[in-house]
Amino acid sequence: MADTTEQTEQRECRTIHAGGEWLTAASGATREILDPADGCPFAVVAEGDEKDADLAVAAARAAFDEGDWPRTPAVERAALLRRVADLLIRDRERLGLLESRDAGKTLEEGRVDIDCVADAFRYFAGLVAAEAPGRVVDAGSSDVHSVVVHEPIGVCALITPWNYPLLQASWKIAPALAAGNTFVVKPSEITPLTTIALIDLLAEAGLPAGVANIVTGPGHTVGARLAEHPDVDLVSFTGGLVSGVKVAQAAAPTVKKVALELGGKNPNVVFADACATPEGFDTAVDQALNAAFIHSGQVCSAGSRLIVEESVRDRFVEELARRAGKIRLGRGTESGVECGPLVSEQQRAKTEEYVASALAEGAVLRSGGRRPDPAPERPESGYFYEPTVLDRCHREMRVVREEVFGPVLTVETFRTEDEAVALANDTEYGLAGGVWTSDAGRARRVAGRLRHGTVWINDFHPYLPQAEWGGFGKSGVGRELGPAGLAEYRESKHVYQNLAPQPVRWFAG
C-alpha cells in the first residue's frame, strides 16, 4: 500500500530516491513547499544538488546495464504500466488534493489531472503491447533475414515543470518505461509532491529497484548536472525557453538525444460567422475564457491571444470582460471556486509587470488588472490575481509577444482571413492555436496555414494520448504522446542475418 500523505510528509525529508532507497540530500539541505493559496509551508523536501544527481544516475545506469527491466518482455512492461494506472485511480482523491495544494489549481482540476495521468499510462501500455517485434526489410534474397528492431535508449533524464507536475511527468515516464528505459526525474522544486508519490506507486506496482529515480532540487544544480551527465543518454525537458536553451547546450558535448517543450504564445482566432447565433456567440466566449484562464493561465497551451474579427469585436470583448469579472477566485479546495492562485509570489509579480507594461504601451484594461480583495476563501497572503482582459493590443507590445504564464488575455482584431492567419503566425512560438468558424472550408484552410503543433477547430485545450504533442519554432523540438512520443525513448537497430554466408573473394590471398 502506498504511503498516506501524512507518512510522506514524515519521511524526514527523504525525497531523493536512488537505487530503491529514499534518501536525504547529501548536503542535508531542505526546502519548504508553500501552499500558494496562503503562502504558508505545508511540506518539506530534500534540496538535492550535483552529488545527488550523480548518485541517481549511477543507480539508473546500473539498473539499465545490469538489471532485467530493459530485457523484460513488452507485454510484462505493459502489465506493470496498467497496474500503475489502477493505483493512480485508487489514490485519485489523495493525489488530486495534493496536486491542488501544491500547484494552486482547483481540486476538480487536480482530480482530472490524475485521470489523465492514468490514461497516459494505459495508452502507452496498450501501444507497446500491441506492437510487432520488428519491421522486416526486404533484402532481395531468400537467404537473408533483415529486420529493424526498436530498443530502449538507456538512461533518461526527465525534467518537468511546475504547472502540471504529475501530468507532465507521466508524459515522459510512461513512454520511457514502456520502451524499457531507466530514468531520473527532476520535478520542479516548487511543486514536487505528486511526482514523489508516483515513485512510491511505481515501486508498489513491482518496478525493479533502480529503474525509477528522483532527485528533488533546483534546475541550476540538479537539472544542469543531469543535462550534461555523460551517463545520461537522453534528456527530456519541459519548461521555459531560456532554460531549454541551457539544457540543449549542456547536452551537446555528449551528443545525447534532446527533447524540448518550451511553451507558447497561442492564438485563438474567432471569425464573425462563429458568433452568428446566440448559441455560437455564447460558446465562443465561454471557450475564450477557458482557453485563457484555466489554471490561472499557467498553461503552455493557453489561448492567451484572442484574435477576433473586427465586426464582432466590441460585442465579444464586452461580454468576455463581463464574465471574466465574475470568475470566482479562491483556494482550490473550497467549494465553488473556479480559479486558484498563481503558483508563487514571483509568478504574480511577473504577471503584474506585464500588465503594467501593456497599459503603458497603450492597451485598454477591460477587466481585472489587480490583486483581488481578501476573502475567507482567498487569504491576503495568497498569490491571487484577477483574470485580466487587455483590449486594443498590437504586436509591438511585450504582453503580446512574450509568454506571461498568468491570467492575462490580450485582444487583437482582423478584417480578412489572410490578416487573421498573418497575426496568428506572427510569433516566435508555434505550440497551439484555435480557430472558430461555422465555415468548414475556412476551418480547414486556416488550420492548414497555421504554423502551430496543435490546432483546435471550434474547441480549445483537449488533448488525446493517441495524438502527438509538440510545436514549431521556439516551442521546442521532439514530440510527446502518440507513437512519436514512444519513439523519442527508443533507438533503432538493423539486424541483418545471412542464412547462407559465402566468401566474397575481394582480396587476394
Give yes or no: 204 in active site. no
Predicted local distance difference test score (pLDDT) of residue 65: 98
> DSSP letter string over 184-213?
EEE--SSS-HHHHHHHHHHHHHTPPTTTEE
Residues in the chain: 509
User: Rounded CA gap, 475 and 418, in Å?
Assistant: 23
Interval 407-421 mean pLDDT? 98
Q: For the ranges 1-5, 194-198, 382-386, which has the lowest average pLDDT?
A: 1-5
Confidence of residue 2 (pLDDT cuts 50, 70, 90): very low
Helix (H) / strand (E) containing 33: strand 30-35
User: Rounded CA gap, 418 and 483, in Å?
Assistant: 34
User: Rounded CA gap, 26 and 47, in Å?
Assistant: 9
User: Rounded CA gap, 343 and 382, in Å?
Assistant: 9
Q: How many C-beta atoms lie closer than 10 Å to residue 165's C-beta?
A: 26
Contact 469, 171 (CB under 8 A): yes
How far lies 257's CA from each of 155, 254, 489, in Å? Answer: 11, 9, 9
Give yes or no: 300 in active site. yes
Confidence of residue 509 (pLDDT cuts 50, 70, 90): low
Predicted local distance difference test score (pLDDT) of residue 10: 46
Helix (H) / strand (E) containing 296: none
- Side chain identity at residue 388, one-letter code: T
Predicted local distance difference test score (pLDDT) of residue 188: 98
Q: Dihedral (C-alpha) 83, 85, 89, 91: value to the nearest 10 degrees?
A: 70
| Percent with pLDDT over 70 in the chain | 97
- Side chain identity at residue 61, one-letter code: R
Catalytic-labelled residue, pool 47, 99, 261, 403: 261
Q: For the ranges 10-19, 171-180, 205-214, 336-345, which has the lowest average pLDDT?
A: 10-19
Dihedral sign for Cα 67, 68, 71, 76, please.
negative
Catalytic-labelled residue, pool 300, 319, 339, 386: 300
Given the C-alpha cell 504511503, which residue does it identify?
3
Q: What angle do CA 433, 436, 439 make, to 5 degrees?
A: 130
Helix (H) / strand (E) containing 44: strand 40-46
Q: What is the pTM of this model?
A: 0.95
| Percent with pLDDT over 90 in the chain | 95
Whether the predicted pLDDT of 446 surpasses 60: yes
Residue 407's closest CA among 450, 374, 371, 447?
371
